[in-house]
Amino acid sequence: MVLHVIGLGLGDEKDVTIKGLEKIKAADFVYLEIYTAVLGVKKETLEAYYGQPIIEADRTLVESGCEEMLQRAKEHRVAFLVVGDPFCATTHSDLMLRAKEMDVRVDVVHNASIMNAVGICGLQMYRFGETVSIPFFEDSWRPESFYDKMVANQRMGLHTLCLLDIKVKEQTLQNMLRGNQIFEAPRFMTVNQAVDEILEVHEKRQELAQPVRGFGLARLGSDSQMIAAGTFEELRTFDFGGPLHSLVLCCPDTSLHELEMQFFDFFRTHHSLAG
């Protein structure tokens, strides 16, 4: 019948839109995607608010193609809930094309995502270049491709939004090989860790404009949201509290607009617009 793909926004159960909430309440099955992002509230809170049981769609379920969900959408109203906006993750685009191949009607309910809510730091939205993802470095895997993109954005006078790594329901190689359904505790990269990794590459390459400046953002869209501006050396040790965190690298100082500079100065000393 229909696959509603519904963005939940960024904060809590009340960040869904009226349109989205109506469709969730009317659905026969409700799935929640839990591995590319997390909301600030528990599944149980959502269930109580929607008056609907929720099926968690983890990495295994989503990457194996959500076959059960799509089959159900042929005959029923299925709601697939996604933190932020439905199109933040490639996986969901793929899902929608597959639904179309099965002749399932796809209905999208948009919402805020980090891609536009980052505007709250005061940098102009239209002056962002390519978005980069910062992965957790491992002993033998320390890729630098994000650094190349940051440098390229700066050379065009653009800001860079850095999405920070999330590891949910990861298995150790050993557990995976043995087929043990044992998962590691979730890990969310902090602004501090992201800055550490970027500066590690920067010490070697020295291609970012001096001073390296940016904004750290935590729990955007929630009541406890926190924003701090500073040099990367300052952000390296700033305590942003719990997840999720994001980071913005500013364009070179010489290209910052006056209003952007005012916001930078504001968030250097204040850490919220509410304060």
Q: Which two tokens stand for residue 209?
A: 């404009």
Does the footprint of a second copy cover residue 120 (CB under 8 A)?
A: yes
Site for a second copy in 190-249 (CB under 8 A): 220-221
Cβ 57 vs Cβ 32: under 8 Å: yes
Task: Read off φ and ψ for residue 87, nearest 5 degrees.
Answer: -105, 20
Does the footprint of a second copy cover residue 185 (CB under 8 A)?
A: no
Does the footprint of a second copy cover residue 40 (CB under 8 A)?
A: no
Q: How far is the CB of 177 from a second copy (least distance, A)?
A: 30
Q: How far is the CB of 242 from a second copy (least distance, A)?
A: 19
Secondary structure element (H or E) that encloses residue 261, with its range: helix 258-269
Q: Which residues pair with 227 in a beta bridge?
A: 217
Does the footprint of a second copy cover residue 88 (CB under 8 A)?
A: yes
Secondary structure element (H or E) that encloses residue 63, with its range: helix 59-63
- Block residue for tokens 């996986």: 91
Annotated binding site for S-adenosyl-L-methionine: 10, 85, 113-114, 164, 220, 245
Q: How far is the CA of 1 from the CAs of 53, 100, 154, in angstroms?
A: 20, 12, 47
Site for a second copy in 2-31 (CB under 8 A): 7, 9-11, 13-19, 21-22
Task: Read off φ and ψ for residue 251, nearest 5 degrees.
Answer: -65, 165
Q: Binding residues for a second copy, per CB under 8 A?
A: 7, 9-11, 13-19, 21-22, 85-88, 90, 93-94, 96-97, 100, 105-108, 110-113, 115-117, 119-120, 122, 124-133, 152, 156, 158, 163, 220-221, 259, 262-263, 266, 270, 273-274
